[in-house]
Amino acid sequence: MTTRVRASRREIFGWAMYDFANQAYTLLIITVVFGDLFTRVIVGDAPDYRVGNLLWSLALSTSYLLVVVCSPVAGAIMDYTASKKRFLFASYLLTVLGTAALYFAAPGYAWIAVVFLIVSNFGFSIGEAFIASFLPGLGPPEDLGKISGFGWALGYVGGMVSAVFVLLVLGEVSAENFDHIRWVGPWAAAFVLVAAIPTFLWVREPGRPRTLPPGIGYLGMGLARVRQTLAHLRTHRDLAILLVSVFFSMSGIYIVISYAFIYGAQVIGWDESVRTLMFVLVQITAAVGAFGFGFIQDRLGALRTYAITLVMWMVAIALIYLTPILSDLARDGLGLDWPAQYIFLVVGCVAGLSLGACQSATRALVGLFSPLSRAAELFGFWGLALKLAGMFGLLAIGLLQALVGLQTAILFCVLLFATALVVAFGVNERRGRAIAEAHDAGQVVW
């Protein structure tokens, strides 16, 4: 029988430091700076930037497709050979090198940005599944919500720390400031490179490597393990249903992460000072949401917490769409001067709380439903669901915004979160945990 015991504080901190490092990539490259730089300056098809937005979606979707192809097989190989840290290190190096190379993207050379965005986002995205696969071994089930929430919260702190240099030294996103702001790629790469070092020093490699059967290579073994998992996935019914729900919820979240600051620049038309304030508020509220809801989910259950965050997301998306309308109503109906960009700040706080809490809850649920001996493999399927979601969501929003504009297209996210909530009603958290525990106890053998 495999017993889940709480890891040392140093190991948990080392694991969480990967979230701390990773958030620099999410924040500076995907959410706040490079996405805006790519659409408005490097591509620069003003006034509506629909071509730039579509290319942005296509580049990210391509990287997610690569993760979909590679993640489950890589997870199976990692479990069998006890090589999680080696795979994680390879994805880490790919992220760092690809991100640093974004410096060479410039107006008229959008293809360079597309190529290195695909490379860097592939490394970052598959690394998310690799680092998450360590979670089930860091503590007993009742602690996983807090541990996962701590990692997400520390990640948002990392985002704020990494952005200080950009805000104080690199300046605004504009064609006039291009020679300075193009350094955002090398800076994000350097931050990830240094901040993730504690992970590789302090996190232990779980499990023991097994010898390959005669005549079978690593790829063949990985594919065989994936086929075996798919054949037995009905045993993990609740995990399978959860992954379907995660597909829809993360489709919406990937759209928000990838387009929130693009939306602020193109639809809201915010000032640089408001953009900076939004960045700070979202990081703080996301950290609070991840850490605070980590304790809540250990009391209410991760599934109930997940459902609450989906409702919060639907409210946030509706408010995002209504922001310009609310500003006009306040001015014309009530005589109040409420600029849309300041209403958008309040909406950003609601979205920030939802962002950290939702992602932490889903990661904790997968950890609860995953036997230790199959953790990397099942988190590989979690990674597959996430990247399928990213690919689907970003392709859909890219095409929709090209047809109807970004403001109207954002309403698609409400449908995605509502679908995720309906599907989640089919998950039984107690049953899913019991199956994983039975597998750890040797009562279920594949």
pLDDT of residue 337: 81
Which tokens go with 376?
């990397």
- Residue 175: CB atoms within 10 A of its CB come to 12
Which of 214, 226, 218 lies closest to 374, judged by CA? 226
DSSP code string of 177-243:
THHHHTTHHHHHHHHHHHHTHHHHHH----S---PPPTT--HHHHHHHHHHHHHHHGGGGHHHHHHH
pTM of the complete model: 0.77
pLDDT of residue 4: 62
Q: How many Å apart are CA 141 and CA 143, to the nearest integer?
A: 5
Q: How many Å apart are CA 127 and CA 96, to the nearest integer?
A: 12
pLDDT of residue 237: 84
Exposure pattern of 36-72 as b/e (b: 16+ CB <10 Å)? bbbbbbbbbeeeebbebbbbbbbbbbbbbbbbbebbb
Q: Where are the alpha helices (DSSP H) in 264-301?
A: 272-300
Residues 6+ apart with CB under 8 A from 53: 39, 259, 262, 398, 401, 402, 406
Q: How many CA atoms lie within 13 A of 348 on its CB side?
A: 26
- Omega within 30 of 0 (cis) for the link into 47: yes
Q: How many Å apart are CA 1 and CA 238, to the nearest integer?
A: 22
Q: How many Å apart are CA 135 and CA 147, to the nearest integer?
A: 8
Counting Cβ atoms within 10 Å, is residue 234 exposed (0-12), middle (13-18) or buried (19+)? exposed
Do residues 221 and 378 touch, judged by C-beta distance below 8 A? no
Residue with tokens 């080696």: 86
Query: How far does Cα 45 stand from its chain's mean position?
Result: 28
Q: How many Å apart are CA 83 and CA 13, to the nearest integer?
A: 20
Q: How many CA atoms lie within 13 A of 116 on its CB side?
A: 21
pLDDT of residue 396: 92
Q: How many Å apart are CA 151 and CA 145, to the nearest integer?
A: 10
pLDDT of residue 446: 46
3-state secondary structure of 441: coil
Q: Which amino acid is at 368?
A: L
Q: How many Å apart are CA 362 and CA 303, to the nearest integer?
A: 8
pLDDT in tens, the chain (446 residues): 455 678 899 999 999 999 999 999 999 999 889 999 999 999 988 777 888 989 999 999 999 889 888 877 787 788 788 889 999 999 999 999 999 999 999 998 999 999 999 999 999 999 988 898 898 889 887 777 788 878 878 988 898 899 888 888 898 899 999 999 999 999 999 999 999 999 999 999 877 777 777 777 777 777 776 676 667 666 778 888 999 999 999 999 989 988 888 899 889 988 888 888 888 888 888 888 877 777 777 788 888 989 999 999 999 999 999 999 998 888 888 888 888 999 999 888 888 888 878 877 887 888 888 787 677 667 767 777 887 898 899 889 989 998 998 899 999 999 999 999 999 999 998 888 888 888 766 665 54
